[in-house]
Structure 1
Amino acid sequence: MKKCLRGLIFLAAALSAVQSQSKYCGNEKCPTFYKQVGSNCVYVSSKTKLNWQEARETCHSIDGELLTLPDANSLREITLHLQVLGVSKEHFWIGAYDIGYEGIWRWIKDKSDVSMGTPFWVWKPAGHEPGGGEKQNCGFLDKNYGGCMNDSECHREFYYICEYVGK
C-alpha cells in the first residue's frame, strides 16, 4: 500500500512539474500540442477527420498551418513519426495544393513549389501522382503507399498534420 501511495505521489509531482513548465517543451521548444519531428514542431490529429479547408482552419486555431515537406528527409521523418504513433495506416492532409492552378503544386505555408516525382509522390504503373486532374486539388499522405503524397478531392475527410508557424 505504501509503495502504491508513494508511486501516486511521485506521479502527481511529475504531472505538476510538467504542467508548471513553460508552454514549450523539448530541445527545440515546441509549443503545447506540438512535438518535435526533425526540424519541425508538428501536431498529428488522429482523432477527428476533417476536409482539407477545415483541417487548415483547425491548424490556424493552434498557430499552425498544414504540414510542409520541403525535402525527402522531412517526408521520411514524418513517416517514421506516424509509425511510432501507430497511425501510419491512415490518410493525413498536408499543405500541398493546386487549387486554381491545375498541375502547379504549391505549399500553402509559403507558396513554394512542391517537389514532384520520387520519393514524394505515389508511383503507380500509369505514372506518378498527382494524377487526379481538376477534381483532386489537395495533397495528403497516402496510407496505401507507405506515406507518399497523393492528391484527392478537398471535400473528403482525413486526419491531418499541422506544423507550428507562430502567431
Structure 2
Amino acid sequence: MSAMESQALIRKLLAVTCLIAVATCDFQFNTKNFKLYRLWDMDDRMPPFSPLSPITCKEECAMFCLNDVTCAAFTYGEYVKFCMMTPEIVRPYDVSISFSLPGYTHYSIYEDIGDGILPPGYRTFNVSKLALRFHYYWPMNWTDARDTCDSEGGRLLTLDTEQKRQLLQDLIISNKDLSTTGTGLFVGGVVNGTEFYWEDGTLLASRDPLWATSQPTGTGNCTILDRDKGFRLADGDCSLKQPYICEHLHFETQSSLPSVGRYSLT
C-alpha cells in the first residue's frame, strides 16, 4: 500500500462508530451505513482460504472490506493480526471444512438503507437506485446465475443505460479480481422467441447502442458484459459457467438480518 493510500484509509477509519455497549457496530463509509453480523459458530476456526495481509485491528479489516466492491465478509485473526476478505458470506457448513485455529472471528457486511438492509455483498450506487453484487468466486451458467440472484431478492442485471454501463466499466477496471476474472459477466438479457428481452420483459433491441460492434451474432441466447469488447453487450452460450452481476431493487424490497448471530466486533 502506498503512503497516499494509507493516509486515505486512516481518514476513512475516523468515520467508524462502534456502540459495543449495546452490542451493535455500525460503520459509516462514503456517507453510507453498514452493519456487521458475526457468525459465532466459526469462532476459532479458519476456512481454507489465504489471508490478505497483516492488519492491526478488526475495524481496519472491516474498512478494507467496505473499500472492495466484491467483499461480502471478512475474517480477522487476533493473534497473527491478519485480515482475509471473501466475496461470499461464511455459512454454517463452512465449519465442517475449516480447521481449528484460535483467535479467528468472522463477519458478514450488510448495507443499511434506513428502512431495511441489503443482502451481504450488495452495494448501493447513485444510479437509478441501483444496488449491485458481483459474483465471480463461483461462476455459474446463466440459469443458475439467475436463480441465485432471485434467491437474494434480486435479479440478473438489466443493463439499459449508458450510465450503468460506464459505472460497471469503472468498477470492474478498478478491482483486481473483477479485472482479471474471465472476459465477461452474465447479465439479464435472454432470447425469447427471436428477440432478446430483459427479465422484466423489456425488449433488448438488436440495434440497441449498448451492444458491442457486430453484436448480437445470433450464436448465443444469453447476454454477457464483455470486457474484451469495450465493456458492451455480447451474446453468449447460456450453458457456459461465467461470473455474473446481480441487482437488488432495494427501493421495492429490503432484507432482514439472519435469525442467529449478533452485531458485534467483540
Does the alignment reach a TM-score above 0.5?
A: yes
User: Does the aligned pair in 2 maintain the 1:45–1:159 contact within 8 Å?
Assistant: yes
Q: How far, CA to CA, are the matches of 1:48 and 1:12 in structure 2? A: 33
Q: 2:112 aligns with which of 19, 25, 32?
A: 25
User: Is 1:73 aligned with 2:163?
Assistant: yes
Secondary structure of 1:57's aligned partner: helix
Partner of 1:106: 197
Q: How large is the Cα RMSD of the aligned pairs? A: 3.1
Q: How far, CA to CA, are the matches of 2:223 and 2:142 in structure 1? A: 9
Q: How far, CA to CA, are the matches of 2:179 and 2:113 in structure 1? A: 23
Unaligned runs of 5+ in 2: 1-13, 28-34, 38-108, 255-266
Question: How many residues of Structure 1 are paired with residues of Structure 2 in the alignment?
Answer: 149
More strand by share: 2
Percent identity, aligned pairs only, is 22
User: Is 1:130 aligned with 2:216?
Assistant: yes
Partner of 1:55: 145
Spell out structure 1 runs of 4+ moving beyond 4 A: 10-15, 20-23
Q: Deviations over 1:36-59 (max 9, x none)?
A: 232210111121110000000110
User: Does the aligned pair in 1 maintain the 2:184–2:225 contact within 8 Å?
Assistant: yes
More helix by share: 1
Opposite residue 141 of structure 1, the aligned amino acid is L
Opposite residue 98 of structure 1, the aligned amino acid is V
Partner of 1:85: 175
Q: 1:116 to 1:26 in 2, by over 3 A?
A: farther
How does the TM-score come out when normalised to structure 1?
A: 0.75
Highest RCO, 1 vs 2 (Cα 8 Å, sep ≥ 6): 1
Unaligned runs of 5+ in 1: 1-9
Q: How far, CA to CA, are the matches of 1:96 and 1:77 in structure 2? A: 18
Q: Deviations over 1:133-164 (max 9, x none)?
A: 4xx10001112112111011100010000001
Q: 1:83 to 1:115 in 2, by over 3 A?
A: farther
Residue 81 of structure 1, CA deviation: 1.6
Q: 1:113 to 1:30 in 2, by over 3 A?
A: farther
Q: 1:154 to 1:20 in 2, by over 3 A?
A: closer
Q: 1:95 aligns with which of 175, 183, 188?
A: 188
Secondary structure of 2:118's aligned partner: coil
Q: Which moved more, 1:148-157 or 1:114-123?
A: 114-123
Secondary structure of 1:78's aligned partner: helix
Q: How far, CA to CA, are the matches of 2:238 and 2:204 in structure 1? A: 17
Residue 119 of structure 1, CA deviation: 3.7
